[in-house]
Amino acid sequence: MRSTIPVALAAGALLVLAPPAHGQIDYRNLDEGRPVATEDAYPIERFAFELLVPYRFESEHSGADFHLIGPEVEFGALRNTQIGVKTLLAAVRETGETDWGLAGIRVFGLYNFNTESGGIPALAVRAETALPVGSLGGDAFALTLEGIGTHSWGATRAHLNAGLRLGSDSGLGSVDPLPRWVLSGAVDHSFLRHSLLAIAEILAERPTDDSPVEVILSAGLRWQWQPTLVLDAGLTRRLSSSGPDIGLTIGLSHAFALSGLMPGGPR
């Protein structure tokens, strides 16, 4: 965990010191896990940064509980393109003992092909790599490729995500590993003068080749607290023959820009 202290300090410094991206309206941007797994097809603005600090708790039917904090930074590197990195810090309590540590590092990118027009939905592709770092991060790399679609009807939008993990199941991390395949759909709606977003989701996934298919129901809210700050919260329930898992996620995101990276900005 000592190796994660500089990451946490840097994230805190960016949150406090970085100039805000004034006028940012980010509450409609569905990021993975914020607060549901389904994403929308749109990246963040070009040259913009977003710092995300989510917390997730899950109580499993096996009796294990886990807590996960995943500080994340996203950057609009190119037009219609965002890249990002996320660090997973986890604590797992099982059979009366708690195991905690770094559960891997995720590096990802998203490219948007088009905006919605003429009834054609917005389409995007996303790639994510899990790096085997830390005591809970496993010992093998994993790569997931995902297709994303978004279609709008006024204040209501629908999203469809489909992802596939390449490679074998061996060596995966013990906390929040990338599933073998995942298919999810979500609907969101804006309320309160377009500052509050409500989301409902259904997701099906197979964690590994030998495991059964899991179905998860989720619901969440995203609230534009300040022009550059968004709060989110969500609940999940995993349905299975051995009983449901209950999950909770809460988080804060901050959008900002660095003037030296903006076109024509000071160097």
How far, in Å, CA of 38 to CA of 236, rounded? 12
For the chain, the structural domain boundaries read 2-259
Please check the confidence at residue 4 and state whether its pLDDT lies above 50: no
C-alpha–C-alpha distance, residues 212 and 63, integer Å:
19
Structure tokens at 41: 């097809």
Give the separation between CA 134 and CA 68, rounded to whole angstroms.
14
Q: What is the pLDDT of residue 260?
A: 74
The pLDDT, as a whole number, for residue 159 is 98
pLDDT tens digits for 66-103? 999 999 999 999 999 999 999 999 999 887 788 999 99
Q: Which tens digit of pLDDT belongs to each residue from 218-259?
A: 999 999 999 899 999 999 999 876 667 899 999 999 999 987
- Residues near 53 by Cβ (< 8 Å), separated by ≥ 6? 11, 15, 69, 71, 72, 251, 252, 253
Distance in angstroms (rounded) separating the CA atoms of residues 205 and 102 = 24
Check: pTM over 0.75? Answer yes or no. Answer: yes
The answer to whether the beta carbons of residues 254 and 228 sit under 8 Å apart is yes
Indicate the CATH number for domain 2-259. 2.40.160.40
pLDDT bin (cut points 50, 70, 90) of residue 164 is very high
Is 70 exceeded by the pLDDT of residue 15?
no
